[in-house]
Amino acid sequence: MTPGDTTPDDVVLRGTGLRREHRAGDRVVPVLHGVTLSARRAAVTVLEGPSGSGKSTLLRLLAGLDRPDDGTVELAGTELTRLSARRRRALRRTRISWLHQEPTANLVDYLTAAEHVELAARLRRCAVDVPAVLDLVDLAHRARHRPRALSGGEQQRVALAAAVVGAPDVVVGDEPSAHLDPSATAHVAEVLRRLAGRGTTVLLASHDPRITRLADATVRLVDGRNAEPREGEDRP
Ligand code: ADP
Ligand code: MG
């Protein structure tokens, strides 16, 4: 399945004609030149492309962290690009989960795995079955551990547990396995697959084959433009 096969109702997140330049002092660096991407409900969409192609810049626009210079981002019927920064922030808190590549960046040193899930529920003002959510990410046996007592892969799975609390519209991960070893990456991939199977919409930038082979749809960027996905080329 490619993004072109989607029906409009399936699409939870859609970026259209996205342009963005970075300004470094008086230098202007054009990064995205009119990029389009859609992510379907309960599917894993993988954004791939060489380093420097604009993946992180694009994910930040789609997650409402930055605004495009041109183009639109629509999330579950709301055009993010028309919202004030304040309303965008409020919507992000409940409807969008962001997963950093550095596991500790997603977590709070002094909170246990269970407390991370509870905190997410408090921030999102929803009820949560903490043991069930931890079980979903295979961490039932680590509920009372703090980040420093967990491996990098376990830390990312705590972050995923917190990320799905309150059923956000989308979970966005920027190379979430970049700091993990192969077996931890495989486990995170298995959990991501499971979450998508239960209705979570997942959008990931990655070039790790353990992650990219999960993709229900692949979007490839080259030099800030949409390019044809390399079907199968980097799949094991
Ligand atoms: P990727 O995630 O695919 O590696 P990025 O979106 O991080 O790509 O970067 C795309 C381009 O934008 C690169 O040339 C990078 O140097 C440039 N860039 C990224 N962030 C900034 C920034 N804050 N200021 C200036 N240039 C940036
Ligand atoms: Mg990047």
Give the mutation target among 23, 27, 48, 56 for probing the ligand 1 site: most ligand atoms within 8 A of CB.
56
Which ligand sits nearest to residue 173's alpha carbon? 2
Q: CA 155, CA 21: separation in Å to the nearest integer?
A: 33
Helix (H, G, I), strand (E, B) or coil at 129: coil
- 30 ligand 1 Cβ < 6 A: no
User: Residues 6 or more apart from 149 whose CB is under 8 A from it?
Assistant: none
What letter does residue 154 receive in the DSSP assignment? H
Per-residue pLDDT of the chain (236 residues; tens, 9 = 90+): 444 444 556 999 999 999 999 998 899 999 999 999 999 999 999 999 999 999 999 999 999 999 999 999 999 999 999 999 999 999 999 999 999 999 999 999 999 999 999 999 999 999 999 999 999 999 999 999 999 999 999 999 999 999 999 999 999 999 999 999 999 999 999 999 999 999 999 999 998 999 999 999 999 999 999 998 776 544 44
Q: Answer whether 137's CB lies under 8 Å from 161's CB.
A: yes
C-alpha of residue 72 to centroid of ligand 2, in Å: 21
Which ligand sits closest to the CA of 25? 1
Atom 18 (ligand 1): residue with closest C-alpha? 22
Pick the atom of ligand 1 nearest to 51's CA.
4
Predicted TM-score of the model (pTM): 0.92
DSSP H/E element including 113 = helix 113-123
Q: Is the CB of 54 under 6 A from ligand 1?
A: yes
According to DSSP, the β-strands at 170-174 and 96-99 are: parallel
CATH 3.40.50.300 fits 42-64+84-220, yes or no: yes
Nearest ligand to residue 35 Cα: 1
Does any ligand 1 atom lie closer than 6 A to the CB of residue 51?
yes
